[in-house]
Amino acid sequence: MLSLLVLSRLVSVEAFGVFALINGVCFLLMMLAEFGVTQSIINKKDSCYQLLYEFSLKVSAFFSISTPLFLYLLTIIFDIELTLFIYIAIPIIVFLFGVTSICLGDLNKRFQFKLVAVSETAAELIALVAVMLVISIYGASYEVLVLKVLIFSITRALLITFYFKKQCDRRDLIFKLSFSIGKIESFNKGVVLSNLASFLVRQGDNFLVGKLFGIVMLGLYDRAYQLVKYPVMLLSFSLQPALQPIMRTVDCYTLFRKIIIATWLLCILAGLSLTLIFNLYSNYIINIILGAGWEEIDFIVKILSYSIAFQCFFSLSGGFFYAIEVSGKNALVNTITFILISLSFYIGYINESIKAGLYLVTISFFIVSVICLLLLLKEGKQFYKKNKLENKPCHV
């Protein structure tokens, strides 16, 4: 994410607007291709992955093949033109993300978070260097942003697969050609629904802003939102992989409740500190990271910064929901969030003021963070009562 912010110095606002739309479609198909396999692997008590491996390959291939149709619909809805390279690159990205879900899930289950971090950091650096070379020769466009994601995806897939084979006890995973799809567990269905709802929250706002306020405003909004969201994603991405497997070791509700409340309070404290920093030094931060020419996003950054505290807890809540096996509740929370955000931007559009929409978005994240807190406390109590863990000694 930081590398894309740095590339803002070289790529135009319109190019980032088009890339935001392409990235939205790519994110949707990646979530569908993954189909909750990563979370299933983490919750799985053994290391017999053959059936999940076959399932993952078939689902990933299906959504990869379906990608050109989604991209074509994008060109019709938003009246944009996409090159052949986009139609080739995005299906590859989708497929690689899906098929590596077993490797990622197994590494996280084994608490090998360092290996995952090394893989993704190395892939990010390699992709950034490669794209900078391409820009120096051919110039900047939205295609180079997609190229960066493609190089990152290929490198990440190779490294994560390598570490998986090195760590896993069972490496004899074989693909068997068959058009039948095995039974889909209810947990996986819940994760998929949750991922779809998460897509609406993470990328749906881009489609709304692009359609209601235009591609140029989308480019500005996307850069501002990514700048504000960077500390949120830095926190959630660093904690999210460890959250579910660690929370699975918590065996009493009392400790679970303390962790949830402490996390919420820490997110509020950290978020308020970041809000203060953004409001005092937004111009300086924009010039340092994005460079000159992005001063127009100053008001967007300041307004969205008020939502950082609530976005932090919202981003982390998924790991808690998956740990207590209520992925459907996470889907519900994401759906509520998307509805509130949609209403916020629509009200802003009616009033011809994106500022009004942004303030309402901030209020929406506050409401959702409270809903997450209350739902987690309620569902957590039921989970530990159902599994008769309430009276057992607590340990992590």
Question: Which residue, 160, 121, 305, 313, is CA-closest to 236?
Answer: 313
Question: Is 157 a residue whose pLDDT tops 90?
Answer: yes
Residue 396 banded pLDDT, cuts 50, 70, 90? very low
pLDDT at 319: 81
More confident residue, 65 or 5: 65
More confident residue, 56 or 9: 56
Cα dihedral 100/103/108/109 (nearest 10): 130
Question: Is 324 a residue whose pLDDT tops 60?
Answer: yes
Question: Which residue, 366, 257, 395, is CA-closest to 304?
Answer: 366
pLDDT at 395: 45
Q: pLDDT tens digits, residue range 237-255?
A: 666 666 777 787 888 888 9
More confident residue, 204 or 3: 204
User: Could you please report the per-residue DSSP string of 59-86?
Assistant: HHHHHHHHHHHHHHHHHHHHT----HHH
Distance separating alpha carbons of residues 54 and 35, to the nearest angstrom: 13
The CB density around residue 107, as the number of other CB atoms within 10 Å, is 26
More confident residue, 231 or 66: 66
Task: Supply the angle between the helices 186-213 and 13-34 in degrees, to the nearest 10.
Answer: 160
pLDDT at 171: 52
Please state the separation of Cα 243 from the chain's center in Å: 15
Residue 225 banded pLDDT, cuts 50, 70, 90? confident
Q: pLDDT tens digits, residue range 177-222?
A: 444 444 555 555 666 776 777 777 778 888 899 989 998 898 899 8
Q: pLDDT tens digits, residue range 266-299?
A: 889 988 999 999 999 998 988 888 877 788 899 9
343-381: buried (b, 16+ CB within 10 Å) or exposed (e) per residue? Answer: ebbeebbeeeebebbbbbbbebbeebbebbbebbeebbe
pLDDT at 51: 74
Question: Is 104 a residue whose pLDDT tops 90?
Answer: no
Distance separating alpha carbons of residues 1 and 107, to the nearest angstrom: 23
- Non-local CB neighbours of 121 within 8 Å, separated by 6+ positions: none
pLDDT at 177: 43
Distance separating alpha carbons of residues 291 and 288, to the nearest angstrom: 6
Instruction: Say whether 310 sits in a helix, a strand or coil.
Output: helix
pLDDT at 252: 86
User: Could you please report the per-residue DSSP string of 376-387?
Assistant: HHHHHHHHHHHT
Question: Which residue, 108, 126, 124, 127, is CA-closest to 116?
Answer: 108
Q: Which segment of 25-34, 202-211, 245-254, 382-391 scores lowest on mean pLDDT? A: 382-391
Residue 159 banded pLDDT, cuts 50, 70, 90? very high
pLDDT at 61: 93
Q: What average pLDDT does this structure show over 121-136?
A: 92
pLDDT at 65: 96
How much is the mean pLDDT over the chain?
84
Question: Which residue, 199, 206, 198, 200, is CA-closest to 226?
Answer: 206
Question: Which residue, 387, 260, 379, 263, is CA-closest to 328?
Answer: 379
Question: Is 25 a residue whose pLDDT tops 90?
Answer: yes
Please state the separation of Cα 306 from the chain's center in Å: 20
Please state the domain extents for the chain: 1-184, 231-390
pLDDT at 55: 81
